[in-house]
Each structure stands twice: as structure tokens, then as C-alpha cells.
A and B are shown apart, each in its own frame.
Chain A
Amino acid sequence: MKDKDYNLNGQHNLPNDNKDKNSFDLPLNYFSEFENNLRKKLEVGEELKEFSILSSIKKNNVFEVPSNYFQVSEQQLELKSELVGCSILQNIKPLTFPALDNDYVKAFQSSIHHKIELSDELKNYTTLYSLDKENGFAVSETYFETFAERVKEKIHQKPEQPISVIDTILDVIFGKKIAFAFGLVTIISLSFYFYSSSEAVIESGNCKTLACLERQDILNNNNTILNFDEDQLIDMVDMNTLNKQVDSEINNTKNQIDKSLIDSITEEDLVDEL
């Protein structure tokens, strides 16, 4: 309960006639200290009177101190006092970490939200949710150290020509050696062919048909004749000449037979006949 006779500083209030109207308070010992403070200021002012320029400059404190310095320094003093018994710890300079990026906090917040979202998604699947997200797959320690070099080698490698089965077969067939051998065989075969075949017309006197040809001539040209069909062969034959020849052959043959028969008859046979 407030005592109306005393102010907040415990001093007796002013005379009753002003008590209720005065609501101002004074610092403790204000009036007793007032004279001393005034005297100090006057002394300082007197000292500076001979320095006119100095006394004209306003007394402003131009030095700044970091905000919360005095609070922090108080805390640091408190910490230091705790480490009084630990000389080594006291001598270790605390690390000063670089300031965080401005985007870090935002990214961190979104990361946390994302993790929560992932977790909530799996909550309906109790077995899956209970599993630790471990990567069961392994890879050798040096794999990634050498991977870049291997890829660069492959990239800078000359591209291989695609080999097809048809190309392989054609290479075998039309390879140099095979081609050379094939050419040689072809040349030899053609030589034989042209040597053995003749395009000159076989003539026997004035007759140009098969009937006039000697047997040997026909046999020599059997390649040509083999290509003839029956009708062509028949057309080639001069029937009149052929008949004459056959008749003459028959007569000749008959004469020869008769002659041989006569020759074979002995004197004894003749005598027997007589």
C-alpha cells in the first residue's frame, strides 16, 4: 500500500499543499550531489578557456561499440572466470565460423518440411516406415577415382566401324587372295574355251550342211552340235545328198563284202563246187 507521505525513493514528500499535485520524482541525493557536479563542470570549463578552438568543439563520443558488447563481454568474463583453473583451455582461441549464407536458412527450412512430408507419406505403410533407409548396394573404394579416366578414354577413342555378317562374307569371297585366284582361274578357263571353240565355218567343198561333213569334223565340233535340238539337226541335214551317200556306201560295202567273200574262197572250195 502506497504511503502518500513518502515518494518512491523513500524521501519525504513536499509540504502538504503541493503533495497531491506533484507527480515528479528525483534521483537519490540529487541536491547534495548537485553542487559537486556543478563545480567540476566549471573547473573543466575554466581549464579550456585558453584553448579557444578546443573549447568550441562539441564533446561528442565518436567511438562506437558493437551492439550487445557489454552484455557479451559480461558473459565472456563470466566464462573466463569459470576457466580460471584450466590454463590450456584458456589459451585456446575459440573458432570463428563464417557467417551462414542468406539462402541457407530458407533452404534448411524447406529441407525440414520435405523430410516431414516424406515421413508422413510412409506412415501408412508400417513395415516400410519402420525400416532404416540403408543402401545395401556396395561398390569398390577406387571405382569412382578411376571412372572419369575410363570414360574420357572411351570418348576420345576412334569409333569402330560396325561389322556386319554380309561384310564379313564379302570380305572372305572378295578378299585379295581369293580375288587373284578367281581372276587367274577365269583367265585360264576363258583361254581354254576360246582355244577349243572355233567360230570358223567348217566347209566341205560346196556343201555347207551336216551331210557333207566328215564324221571327224562333226566330232571336233561337238560343242556346237550338242546345243542343237533335234529339229535343228534335221534341218541341217540335206536329205538328197544323204541318200546318195548312203546308197554309195551301201554299194561300196556290198562290193567290199563280195570281194572279201571272193577272196575268202579257196581253190579247194572252187573245185568242190565244180
Chain B
Amino acid sequence: MQDYSDEEILALYRDEASQNMALHYLIQKYQKKLYWHIRKIVISHDDTDDVLQNTFIKIWKGLAGFKEESQLYTWLYRIATNESLTFVKQKAKANTTSIHPLEYQLSKSLESDTFFSGDEIQLKLQKAILTLPEKQRIVFNMRYYDEMPYEKMSGILDTSVGALKASYHIAAKKIEDFLVTH
């Protein structure tokens, strides 16, 4: 499938006759990247599916107002990140029946999740990541798994490069300590 550039997709979108095509190419280009970005935050596949759909709906509705002050992928990732964080917060609020925090429950659910194929050490690593605060978790995942440069991350998370570096190193230290002690 031909991979259209962001500029081409935006050009297709501006033409009313080809807007549907623009949507199709936009989804094809970014669905996997955004899926994995969201999945690492919300963990569950079903929750990821919901958040991803809502993300694309929000993107579609907001695309008319996209001012191209930032790169398209920055804007998409920002929406996906915010939707994921909102979802996690709502789920934590609704989690009133259990005495355990949401992250603990997610950590436990990984053990029996059919959509988790990692070995023991990978499971331990994911549990370690879940002990981090949300934003630190996002920073760690984007740097460690996505290997994203700090400058790109800064645009997405609206945080300075220095703060991101500090956040990443603190996260890595916490994970290291968790892996050693568990």
C-alpha cells in the first residue's frame, strides 16, 4: 500500500471530494503506531481498541482546525496520549470497588491476559513499568520502546528536553531497582 506523506494526506483532506480517502490513508499510516503507543499506557487490548477509535474520531473532527504549527504526527500522538491519560484517570475513578489501585489490577491482569505473549522477564518488566507515575511511564515507553528522540517527545508531551531526560533516567532507575529486588 502506498505510503502517503503527511502533506499529501492534508492536501487530500482539504479537497472535499477526497476527504474519505484522506481518512483512509491517515488511519492506514498511523493506526499501528498509535495502537502500540496507547497499548503501553492502558495495557488491555479491549481498552486500547476503545481509546484508539475515540482518538481517530477526535482527530477527524479536529483536522479542520489543525493549523500545521506542529508536525501532523506530533499532533496525532498528543491526542492519543491525552485520550489514554483521560481513560486511565476515568478508570481509576470508577475503580471504587477494589482496595487496590488501578495499576496493581492491571499488573495482575497481565498474568492472565491472552494478548500478552512475553516471557517471565518481560512480564516483570511490564510490572515494573506499571509502578511508575503515568507521565513517567509514557516517557519511558516512548524512549525505550519507540526510541523516540527527546526533541520529538518534547513536542508531543509539551515538556522540555531536560525534564524528559531527567524523567527517563528516574524511570529507568526505578525499574532497575524493581527488577533487582523482585
* A101 smallest CB distance to B (angstroms): 14
How many angstroms from the CA of A115 to the CA of B147 in the assembled complex? 8
Identify the closest chain B residue to A136 (Cβ): B118
Q: Which residues of B contact A126 (CB under 8 A)?
A: 176
How many angstroms from the CA of A140 to the CA of B45 in the assembled complex? 10
Whether B36 contacts A135 by the Cβ 8 Å rule is yes
Interface residue? A263 (CB, 8 A): no
Whether A154 contacts B53 by the Cβ 8 Å rule is yes
Assess A139 versus B115: contact at CB under 8 Å? Given A127-B180, A148-B28, A150-B53.
yes
Interface residue? A152 (CB, 8 A): yes
* B69 smallest CB distance to A (angstroms): 24
Q: How many residues of B are in contact with the other chain, CB < 8 A?
A: 42
Whether A144 contacts B35 by the Cβ 8 Å rule is yes
Whether A114 contacts B147 by the Cβ 8 Å rule is yes
Whether A154 contacts B172 by the Cβ 8 Å rule is no
Interface residue? B121 (CB, 8 A): yes
Q: How many residues of A are in contact with the other chain, CB < 8 A?
A: 28
Interface residue? A137 (CB, 8 A): yes
Within 8 A of B (CB), among A53-91: none
Interface residue? B32 (CB, 8 A): yes
Whether A137 contacts B53 by the Cβ 8 Å rule is no
How many angstroms from the CA of A152 to the CA of B23 in the assembled complex? 8
- Of B35, B145, B168, the residue contacting A139 (CB under 8 A) is B35
Whether A131 contacts B121 by the Cβ 8 Å rule is yes
How many angstroms from the CA of A122 to the CA of B119 in the assembled complex? 21
Interface residue? B85 (CB, 8 A): no
How many angstroms from the CA of A137 to the CA of B143 in the assembled complex? 17
Interface residue? A165 (CB, 8 A): no
Q: Which residues of A contact B57 (CB under 8 A)?
A: 151, 154-155
Whether A125 contacts B175 by the Cβ 8 Å rule is yes
Interface residue? A105 (CB, 8 A): no
Whether A144 contacts B31 by the Cβ 8 Å rule is yes
Identify the closest chain A residue to B24 (Cβ): A148
Interface residue? B12 (CB, 8 A): no
How many angstroms from the CA of A126 to the CA of B147 in the assembled complex? 18
Q: Which residues of B contact A147 (CB under 8 A)?
A: 27, 31, 52
Whether B168 contacts A121 by the Cβ 8 Å rule is yes
- Of A114, A128, A134, A148, the residue contacting B122 (CB under 8 A) is A134
Identify the closest chain A residue to B28 (Cβ): A148
* B110 smallest CB distance to A (angstroms): 8
Interface residue? B96 (CB, 8 A): no
How many angstroms from the CA of A137 to the CA of B117 in the assembled complex? 6
Interface residue? A133 (CB, 8 A): yes
Assess A137 versus B36: contact at CB under 8 Å? Given A121-B168, A127-B179, A127-B180.
yes
Whether A138 contacts B117 by the Cβ 8 Å rule is yes
Interface residue? B104 (CB, 8 A): no
Whether A148 contacts B31 by the Cβ 8 Å rule is yes
Q: Which residues of A contact B27 (CB under 8 A)?
A: 147-148, 151-152
Mask of B151-181 contacts with A, CB within 8 angstroms, 1/0: 0000000000000000011001101100110
21 contacts between A and B (CB under 8 A): A115-B147, A121-B143, A121-B168, A125-B173, A127-B180, A128-B125, A131-B121, A133-B145, A136-B122, A137-B36, A137-B40, A137-B117, A139-B115, A144-B32, A147-B52, A148-B27, A148-B28, A150-B53, A151-B27, A152-B20, A155-B60
Q: B interface vs A, CB < 8 Å?
A: 20, 23-24, 27-28, 31-32, 35-36, 39-40, 45, 49, 52-53, 56-57, 60, 114-119, 121-123, 125-126, 143-145, 147, 149, 168-169, 172-173, 175-176, 179-180
Beyond A125-B173, A136-B116, 4 additional pairs, beta carbon < 8 A: A115-B147, A131-B121, A137-B39, A154-B53
